[in-house]
């Protein structure tokens, strides 16, 4: 924005112009000769003053309108649906709107002065450079499709329209995201290819017919094979001309039915090929809209083999019945209507109390023989097999029969078969094992009695062993109780040290607030008082005092921001772990002079919030310890994913410390290590420290990633 003029400078300039004008026109500035001239002059001055005030008001309104229009233009420019870039002849970005920065995934402040070609895929940069040179050379609007691959945004396909300025010093580039449109065009093309492949590879004959002319417009390869005609002879003919319908009248009737019902089906339709071979086909014709015109599609299937199979099925029905009657075990068949169809002589003895049997609902038959609970279970198994085709073998089945009042044992299995009438049915094979089970039970009772004595002897031996184990378990219980008490004392000591650490941190924050922020605010207050008193007496020093006050305010804001980052960095939630670590390490290196190298795999941003927060806090605490105690010059921070486990390693080149636990006095003060260990274990991780006096210190943290957690859950399951 242009700088507003100073009122004092404007008044002085106007006064100098007036004095110069008076010297050049002495007649107009001569002293009045009479009182009338004085009054007229005063009146003219008042009128002139009013005119100046009105002009001043008009100028202010014009200025406000201009600022409003400028703000409106800025909003339209920034929030336009496309990206606007202003480029130099060498492709350097001079200006970019907000939509453009969001499109390329780079902050707008970082785009200015950067080459636009660096935002593109490397293999497309040379083409874009040639395109930009042509746009500046020809001076006309140019367009190109390319791909943007930089920044945090995913790769996007864009259309760039460029128009150079009249002086040829810059050009305006309009960048439009066409990713979805390009993908949609690719999908349409892929669907057309798939349709054509299905059409040509179908194992049914397919004809496409024009409803207006009733003539064939296309035929697939299988149709030419079915008829024996080449495709060129089929195109332009009607159905009766290729031997599909007997005459022209039948063909016309089919088209009339199609226009009424949009679908026609013919079964057992005779078809004669070019070589005179007769075959039976099934024809299904559909009328549908394809764009702005109608299309008839005829699917023609050769059913000659199916007819032969039906004849074979009728002959196999006789064989099926014969096999059932001669089977050595009980066999019966339940049809698709869930009624009894066939029973062999062996099975008839089981159903002797059921009359009638053949043609009766199977559910009623089962409920005559067995109690309701067992009968319902048998019916469910039969219906499930009939519906799904899944065979079933029953475990040992025993139940008391309702019709006879005796308990019987059976082994039975069922499976779904295709019956001679081409419908599904269920065949049951069973055997009455009552006598065999009773004999087996008697043998088992004898074995149980003979094994009872051995069991009693074994119980005596086990009882003596249990008593010995009980004595040893009491000793182990006493040992564990002592260990638990020692752990309780350690936990209480850790809790006290944590409370002291929290209190020390509160004292530090309070002391810094009192010593830094309050003093800064007092300085701001003093400067504001000086501004209030000195604004009138010494206006020239006003600017310096304002700048000094602004520096104090900026200092206070920076201090508050630093406190906020130390307490809870907002970048961690807004931008992620990697930007937050980079910002922290940059500040750490500036404050301590210690160099830090960071390696992080990109997938860490997909981890849970607790994992990312824990990793940041551990890195923060570890680097704080390095700055305070290690006397190091370089630190390496490495976060990687290994076999579904997130591993963080922090290594410095400092002086190290005794980590064996022998130096108890120093170990009590290592609250930072204890805090890090507690934080890692709280989120299910493992914490390790490797260090020795005069050696580098390495901190290792292992946390379960998403895949690791799933594998761990599967192992537990």
Structure confidence at residue 717 (pLDDT): 42
Higher pLDDT, 271 or 11: 271
Structure confidence at residue 689 (pLDDT): 92
Q: For residue 205, is pLDDT > 90?
A: no
- The DSSP output letter for 211 is T
Structure confidence at residue 167 (pLDDT): 83
Higher pLDDT, 5 or 295: 295
- The DSSP output letter for 399 is E
- H or E, element range at 176: strand 171-177
- CB neighbour list of residue 674: distance below 8 Å, 6 or more residues apart: 494, 497
pLDDT tens string 277-298: 667 777 888 887 776 778 888 8
Higher pLDDT, 672 or 178: 178
Nearest alpha carbon to residue 691 among 647, 642, 636, 654: 654
Higher pLDDT, 350 or 27: 350
pLDDT tens string 643-667: 889 999 999 998 888 877 544 444 4
Structure confidence at residue 645 (pLDDT): 92
In CATH terms, the fold of domain 202-302 is: Beta-Lactamase (3.30.450)
- The DSSP output letter for 629 is I
CA pair distance 609, 580, nearest whole angstrom: 13
Grouping H, G, I as helix, E, B as strand and the rest as coil, residue 71 is: helix
Structure confidence at residue 501 (pLDDT): 59
Structure confidence at residue 81 (pLDDT): 79
Is-contact 365 351, C-beta < 8 A? Answer: yes
Cα dihedral 578, 580, 582, 586, rounded to 10, equals -170
Domains 79-171 and 569-716 share a fold: no
Q: For residue 557, is pLDDT > 70?
A: no
Nearest alpha carbon to residue 209 among 238, 180, 246: 238
Spell out the domain ranges in the chain. Answer: 7-71, 79-171, 202-302, 308-432, 438-540, 569-716
Nearest alpha carbon to residue 376 among 358, 357, 362, 393: 362
pTM here? 0.31
Nearest alpha carbon to residue 626 among 658, 663, 657: 657
Higher pLDDT, 16 or 699: 699
- H or E, element range at 110: helix 108-111
Q: How far apart are the first and last CA of the chain?
A: 68
For the record, the structure tokens of 275 come out as: 């070589």
- H or E, element range at 430: strand 424-432
Is-contact 676 692, C-beta < 8 A? Answer: no
CATH number attached to the domain at 308-432? 3.30.450.20
Task: Tell the burial category of 664 from Cβ atoms under 10 Å away from its Cβ (0-12, 13-18, 19+).
Answer: exposed
Grouping H, G, I as helix, E, B as strand and the rest as coil, residue 27 is: coil
Is-contact 434 414, C-beta < 8 A? Answer: no
Structure confidence at residue 661 (pLDDT): 56
Q: For residue 499, is pLDDT > 60?
A: no
Strand 263-272 with 278-290, pairing: antiparallel
3-state secondary structure 349-410: CCCCCCCCCCCCEHHHHHHHHCCHHHHHHHHHHHHHHHHHCCCEECCCEEEECCCCCCEEEE
Judged by average pLDDT, the poorest of 355-369, 590-604, 639-653, 697-711 is 697-711
Best mean pLDDT range from 199-208, 371-380, 483-492: 371-380
Structure confidence at residue 12 (pLDDT): 61
Structure confidence at residue 568 (pLDDT): 57
- Scanning 139-238, the segments in alpha helix (DSSP H) are 179-201, 221-227, 231-234
CA pair distance 649, 269, nearest whole angstrom: 78
Q: Indicate the average pLDDT of the chain.
A: 78
Structure confidence at residue 264 (pLDDT): 81
Label residue 119 by pLDDT band (50, 70, 90): confident
Label residue 246 by pLDDT band (50, 70, 90): low
> Is the Cα torsion angle 514, 515, 521, 525 positive or negative in sign?
positive
Structure confidence at residue 638 (pLDDT): 94
Structure confidence at residue 713 (pLDDT): 43
Judged by average pLDDT, the poorest of 132-141, 543-552, 605-614 is 543-552
Higher pLDDT, 660 or 31: 660
Grouping H, G, I as helix, E, B as strand and the rest as coil, residue 80 is: coil
Structure confidence at residue 383 (pLDDT): 92
Taking residues 534-547, report their average pLDDT: 62
**Widest Cα–Cα separation across the chain:** 156
Structure confidence at residue 601 (pLDDT): 92
pLDDT tens string 392-416: 998 878 888 888 888 888 888 999 9
In CATH terms, the fold of domain 569-716 is: Heat Shock Protein 90 (3.30.565)
Task: Tell the burial category of 207 from Cβ atoms under 10 Å away from its Cβ (0-12, 13-18, 19+).
Answer: buried
The domain over range 79-171 is classified in CATH as 3.30.450.20: yes
Higher pLDDT, 640 or 268: 640
Taking residues 222-235, report their average pLDDT: 77
Higher pLDDT, 269 or 380: 380
In Å, how far are 459, 587, 618 from 561, measured between CA atoms? 75, 13, 21
Is-contact 694 658, C-beta < 8 A? Answer: no
In Å, how far are 208, 242, 246, 256, 363 from 237, measured between CA atoms? 11, 7, 14, 18, 58
- Bridge partners, 215 (sequence order): 210
Structure confidence at residue 609 (pLDDT): 86
Label residue 639 by pLDDT band (50, 70, 90): very high
- CB neighbour list of residue 506: distance below 8 Å, 6 or more residues apart: none
* Residue environment code for 40-73, b if the CB has 16+ CB neighbours within 10 A, otherwise e: eeeeeeeeeeeeeeeeeeeeeeeeeeeeeeeeee
C-alpha 551: how far from chain center: 46
Label residue 709 by pLDDT band (50, 70, 90): very low
Count other Cβ atoms within 10 Å, centred on residue 209: 23
- H or E, element range at 417: strand 407-418
Structure confidence at residue 397 (pLDDT): 85
Q: For residue 7, is pLDDT > 60?
A: no
> Which residue in this structure is represented by tokens 């490397």?
122
Nearest alpha carbon to residue 272 among 236, 237, 244, 299: 244
Cα dihedral 544, 549, 550, 556, rounded to 10, equals 150
Label residue 534 by pLDDT band (50, 70, 90): low
The string of DSSP codes covering 39-53 is: HHHHHHHHHHHHHHH
Taking residues 535-561, report their average pLDDT: 66
- The DSSP output letter for 336 is T
Structure confidence at residue 269 (pLDDT): 66
pLDDT tens string 302-326: 777 777 766 666 666 666 676 777 7
Rounded percentage of the chain residues whose pLDDT exceeds 90: 10
- The DSSP output letter for 344 is -
């Amino acid at each position: 924005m242009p700088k507003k003029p100073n009122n004092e400078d404007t008044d002085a300039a106007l006064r100098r112009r007036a004095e110069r004008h008076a010297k050049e026109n002495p007649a107009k500035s001569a002293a009045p000769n009479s009182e009338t001239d004085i009054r007229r002059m005063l009146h003219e001055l008042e009128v002139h003053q009013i005119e100046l005030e009105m002009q001043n008001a008009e100028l202010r309104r014009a200025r406000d309108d201009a600022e409003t229009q400028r703000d409106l233009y800025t909003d339209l420019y920034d929030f336009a649906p496309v990206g606007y870039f202003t480029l130099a002849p060498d492709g350097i970005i001079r200006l970019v709107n907000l939509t453009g920065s969001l499109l390329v995934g780079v902050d707008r402040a970082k785009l200015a002065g950067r080459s636009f070609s660096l935002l593109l895929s490397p293999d497309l940069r040379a083409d874009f450079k040639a395109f930009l040179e042509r746009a500046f050379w020809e001076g006309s609007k140019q367009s190109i499709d390319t791909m943007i691959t930089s920044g945090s945004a995913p790769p996007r396909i864009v259309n760039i329209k460029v128009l150079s300025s009249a002086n040829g010093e810059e050009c305006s580039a309009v960048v439009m995201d066409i990713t979805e449109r390009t993908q949609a065009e690719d999908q349409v093309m892929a669907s057309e290819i798939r349709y054509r492949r299905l059409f040509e590879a179908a194992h049914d004959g397919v004809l496409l017919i024009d409803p207006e002319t009733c003539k064939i417009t296309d035929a697939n390869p299988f149709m030419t094979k079915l008829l024996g005609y080449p495709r060129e002879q089929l195109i332009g003919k009607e159905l009766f001309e290729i031997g599909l319908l007997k005459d022209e009248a039948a063909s016309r009737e089919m088209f009339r039915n199609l226009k009424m019902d949009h679908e026609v089906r013919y079964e057992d339709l005779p078809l004669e090929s070019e070589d005179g071979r007769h075959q039976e086909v099934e024809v299904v014709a559909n009328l549908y809209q394809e764009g702005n015109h109608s299309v008839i599609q005829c699917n023609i299937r050769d059913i000659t083999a199916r007819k032969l199979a039906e004849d074979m099925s009728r002959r196999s029905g006789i064989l099926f019945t014969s096999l059932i009657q001669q089977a050595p075990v009980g066999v019966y068949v339940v049809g698709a209507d869930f009624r009894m169809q066939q029973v062999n002589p062996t099975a008839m003895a089981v159903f002797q109390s059921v009359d009638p049997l053949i043609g009766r609902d199977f559910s009623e038959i089962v409920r005559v023989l067995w109690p309701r609970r067992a009968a319902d279970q048998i019916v469910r198994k039969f219906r499930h097999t009939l519906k799904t085709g899944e065979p079933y073998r029953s475990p040992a089945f025993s139940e008391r029969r309702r019709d006879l009042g005796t308990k019987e044992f059976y082994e039975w299995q069922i499976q779904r078969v295709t019956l001679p009438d081409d419908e599904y049915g269920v065949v049951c094979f069973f055997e009455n094992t009552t006598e065999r089970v009773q004999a087996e039970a008697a043998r088992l009772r004898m074995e149980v009695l003979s094994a009872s004595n051995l069991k009693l002897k074994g119980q005596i031996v086990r009882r003596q062993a249990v008593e010995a184990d009980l004595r040893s378990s009491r000793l182990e219980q006493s040992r564990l109780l002592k260990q638990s008490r020692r752990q309780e004392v350690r936990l209480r000591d850790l809790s006290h040290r944590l409370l002291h650490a929290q209190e020390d941190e509160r004292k530090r924050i309070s002391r810094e607030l009192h010593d830094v922020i309050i003093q800064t605010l007092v300085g701001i207050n003093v400067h504001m008082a000086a501004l209030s008193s000195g604004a009138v007496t010494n206006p020239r020093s006003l600017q310096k005092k304002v700048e000094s006050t602004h520096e104090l305010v900026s200092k206070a804001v920076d201090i508050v921001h630093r406190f906020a980052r130390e307490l809870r960095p907002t970048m961690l939630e807004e931008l992620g772990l990697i930007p937050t670590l980079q910002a922290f390490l940059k500040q750490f290196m500036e404050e301590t002079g210690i160099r830090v190298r960071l390696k992080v795999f990109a997938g860490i941003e997909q981890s849970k919030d607790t994992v990312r927060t824990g990793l940041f806090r551990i890195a923060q605490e570890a680097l704080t310890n390095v700055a305070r105690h290690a006397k190091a010059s370089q630190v390496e921070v490495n976060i990687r994913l290994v076999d579904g486990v997130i591993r963080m390693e922090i290594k410095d080149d400092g002086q190290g410390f005794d980590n064996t636990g022998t130096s108890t006095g120093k170990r009590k003060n290592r609250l930072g290590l204890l805090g890090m260990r507690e934080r890692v274990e709280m989120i299910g991780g493992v914490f390790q420290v490797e260090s020795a006096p005069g050696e580098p210190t390495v901190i290792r943290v292992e946390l379960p990633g998403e895949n690791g957690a799933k594998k761990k859950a599967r192992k537990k399951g």
